[in-house]
């Protein structure tokens, strides 16, 4: 399967007003892609398009709530109307509620699922007809490492991300069965320094935080641009996420115990915040149309992402390590003359 170079692509980016989506739109535009940016925040989209046009990029915006299919479909239709086609769909829109499960209302739980899971499904439904018309393309869905391992105090968010993985695994095989040259990628970031924790609803009594360490949004955007040109099944962004995934596969009970130690205190800051404070669960809120959040001092670099974006080196290193390990094992065995 071969995808177009980014400079030749028309890309729709959903959830583009802030955080990962905003950084991704900027990076696509800087590399010559034509971008259609969508979110609920009109002011965020306007400032993003202005920023893109300042450096000579090409972008249009459309306001949309991903819980409404007709509004999601309008994003894909806008790409075709303005640029004649759609090559890549990047779906990053999400919301959340940090609270114990028994303090979350049915309406709140449903809303998170509607945005984070149903919205992702609507995105694929809207984009696929256009990608099929082109005969190739990429569906890139941003979920979370919580697609692999749920954490406490985020039950609706974790449930939605598990659902995204199930959706994409099913869809990917269907497209392969039908012979379509359409890449389906699940991008699963670790804890990222975006305004997410400023915007979500909290019932913890304080401003929430991800369990540190954080990574900067740019590393997620780097991964998204990579998979837009290189068909990739899954991409876990950030070393910590990869370690957590391995630990979950080896011993879920061990991860349970780890989260008992750090998963509750680790998601609370010392800053008081009421559950009635403005949040973006049901409506957009102003003031957070930025790429980065408040936790830049807690960010660290990632190393394994580079290997994932350079597979020959990655698998060469694995082969060398395996050979050295086998050699050490054989060298330790008693010889025939012993």
Instruction: Catalogue the active-site residues.
Output: 157
Q: Report angle CA 70, 98, 200 to the nearest 5 degrees.
A: 50
Report the relative pairing of strands 268-272 and 201-202 from DSSP bridges: unpaired
Angle between helix 119-134 and helix 155-178 axes, rounded to 10 deg = 20
Identify which of 28, 32, 26, 24 has the alpha carbon closest to the alpha carbon of residue 7: 32
Identify which of 87, 111, 85 has the alpha carbon closest to the alpha carbon of residue 97: 111
**Number of separate helices (H) and strands (E) present in the chain:** 12, 11
Q: Tell me the two tokens of residue 25.
A: 């739109």
140, 92 contact by CB (below 8 A): no
């Amino acid at each position: 399967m071969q995808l177009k170079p980014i400079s030749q692509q028309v890309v729709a980016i959903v959830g583009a007003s802030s955080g990962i989506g905003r950084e991704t739109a900027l990076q696509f535009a800087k590399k010559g892609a034509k971008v259609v940016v969508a979110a609920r925040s009109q002011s965020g989209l306007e400032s993003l398009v202005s920023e893109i046009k300042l450096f000579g990029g090409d972008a249009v915006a459309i306001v949309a709530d991903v819980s409404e299919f007709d509004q999601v479909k309008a994003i894909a239709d806008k790409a075709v109307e303005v640029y004649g086609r759609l090559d890549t769909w990047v779906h990053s829109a999400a919301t959340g509620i940090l609270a114990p499960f028994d303090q979350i209302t049915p309406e709140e739980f449903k809303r998170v699922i509607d945005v984070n899971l149903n919205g992702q499904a609507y995105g694929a439904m809207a984009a696929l007809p256009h990608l099929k018309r082109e005969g190739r393309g990429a569906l890139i869905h941003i979920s979370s490492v919580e697609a692999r391992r749920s954490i406490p105090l985020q039950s609706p968010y974790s449930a939605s991300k598990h659902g995204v993985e199930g959706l994409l695994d099913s869809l990917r095989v269907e497209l392969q069965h039908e012979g379509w040259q359409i890449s389906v990628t699940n991008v699963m970031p670790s804890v990222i320094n975006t305004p997410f924790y400023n915007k979500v609803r909290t019932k913890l009594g304080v401003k929430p935080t991800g369990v540190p360490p954080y990574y900067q949004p740019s590393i997620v955007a780097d991964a998204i641009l990579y998979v837009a040109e290189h068909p990739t099944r899954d991409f876990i962004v950030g070393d910590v996420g990869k370690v957590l995934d391995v630990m979950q596969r080896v011993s879920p009970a061990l991860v349970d115990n780890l989260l008992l130690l750090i998963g509750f205190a680790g998601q609370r800051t010392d800053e008081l915040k009421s559950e009635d404070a403005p949040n973006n669960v049901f409506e957009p809120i102003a003031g957070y149309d930025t790429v980065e959040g408040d936790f830049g001092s807690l960010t660290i670099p990632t190393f394994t992402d580079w290997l994932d974006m350079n597979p020959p080196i990655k698998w060469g290193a694995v082969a060398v390590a395996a050979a050295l390990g086998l050699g050490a094992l054989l060298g330790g065995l008693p010889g025939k003359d012993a």
